[in-house]
């Protein structure tokens, strides 16, 4: 059997004395869409940030297509075809929409960058009008699209996303999920952190449930949707 596209083995990450992620393991196969769900503070963002190389794990490994890339810097992860759409979007508010995308294309040559810029305008028509607007003036939904477009500038095989629907109005959440659907059709491998568990499980191939820094459950989207303990993972048992 060939190695999975992305594999995380017994990953532990600390912030100072704080252990935010404990012994987490997961795999994502080629073209798979895998969600990480669970309450806040569970360690989901820590996991993604460790995979991309913003944080260094205290132990454990990250493998891309079987190659050990633990502790690689974000730029080398991007050249390996992995990109992250960070939590809170983190768009550059002082830069224009175009400049945001340009920066995100720093790892590719100028010709490819120009081509991708054109592709992004095609994929996100709203950019055309806002091309030279400072990104700080974008609405939440527009900013989220820009954040995703930035990650696509390097045309990654593996796309990591941290709460792409965060703070968006319901109609915009629909838009984001539509976008996830079309990205999946392009065959991209995705590992997505999402609060909106119900929506996530509808389109997930598989999902992992994190709580208190540990993976406490996993399964296909359908399996997890059947299980009632998902409710208690969020809401606690009903009989207290």
Residues contributing to the site for other proteins (CB under 8 A): 16-20, 39-43, 52, 54, 73-75, 78-79, 83-84, 86, 90-95, 99-100, 102-104, 106-107, 110, 136-137, 139-140, 150, 154, 163, 166-167, 169-170, 195-200, 202, 212-213, 225-226, 228, 230-232, 234-238, 240
Shortest spacing between CB 28 and other proteins, in angstroms? 19
Q: Which is nearer to other proteins, 121 or 166 (CB)?
A: 166
**Residue 18 CA: distances (Å) to CA of 13, 56, 150, 209, 213:** 9, 14, 31, 21, 11
Shortest spacing between CB 4 and other proteins, in angstroms? 23
Distance of CA 238 to the CA centre of its chain: 32
Q: Tokens in use for 138?
A: 């974008």
Across the beta sheet with 59-64, the strand order is: 18-28, 6-15, 59-64, 67-68
Q: Which is nearer to other proteins, 43 or 57 (CB)?
A: 43
Q: Which residue has the tokens 């820009």?
A: 146
Q: Which residue has the tokens 């945001």?
A: 100
Shortest spacing between CB 127 and other proteins, in angstroms? 16
Shortest spacing between CB 60 and other proteins, in angstroms? 18
Tell me if 213 sits within 8 A of 15, measured CB to CB. no
Q: Which is nearer to other proteins, 102 or 121 (CB)?
A: 102
Q: For residue 62, what is the enclosing H or E element?
A: strand 59-64
Q: Which is nearer to other proteins, 29 or 120 (CB)?
A: 120
Shortest spacing between CB 1 and other proteins, in angstroms? 31
> Is residue 125 packed enough to be buried (19+ CB in 10 Å), middle (13-18) or exposed (0-12)?
exposed
Q: Which is nearer to other proteins, 71 or 140 (CB)?
A: 140
């Amino acid at each position: 059997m060939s190695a999975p596209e992305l594999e995380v083995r017994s990953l532990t990450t600390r912030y100072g004395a704080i252990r935010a992620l404990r012994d987490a393991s997961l795999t994502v196969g080629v073209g798979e869409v895998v969600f990480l769900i669970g309450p806040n503070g569970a360690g989901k963002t820590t996991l993604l940030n460790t995979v991309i190389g913003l944080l260094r794990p205290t132990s454990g490994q990250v493998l891309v297509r079987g190659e050990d890339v633990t502790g690689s810097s974000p730029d080398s992860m991007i050249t390996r075809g992995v990109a992250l759409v960070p939590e809170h979007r983190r768009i550059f508010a002082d830069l224009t929409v175009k400049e945001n995308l340009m920066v995100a294309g720093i790892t590719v040559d100028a010709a490819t960058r120009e081509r991708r810029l054109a592709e992004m305008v095609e994929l996100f028509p709203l950019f055309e009008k806002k091309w030279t607007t400072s990104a700080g003036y974008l609405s939440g939904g527009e900013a989220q699209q820009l954040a995703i477009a930035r990650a696509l500038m390097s045309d990654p095989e593996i796309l990591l996303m941290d709460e792409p629907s965060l703070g968006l109005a319901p109609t915009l959440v629909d838009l984001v999920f539509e976008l996830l659907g079309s990205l999946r059709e392009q065959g991209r491998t995705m590992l997505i952190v999402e609060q909106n568990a119900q929506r996530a499980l509808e389109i997930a191939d598989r999902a992992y449930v994190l709580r208190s820094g540990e993976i406490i459950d996993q399964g296909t989207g359908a399996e997890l949707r059947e299980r009632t303990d998902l409710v208690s993972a969020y809401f606690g048992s009903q009989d207290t």
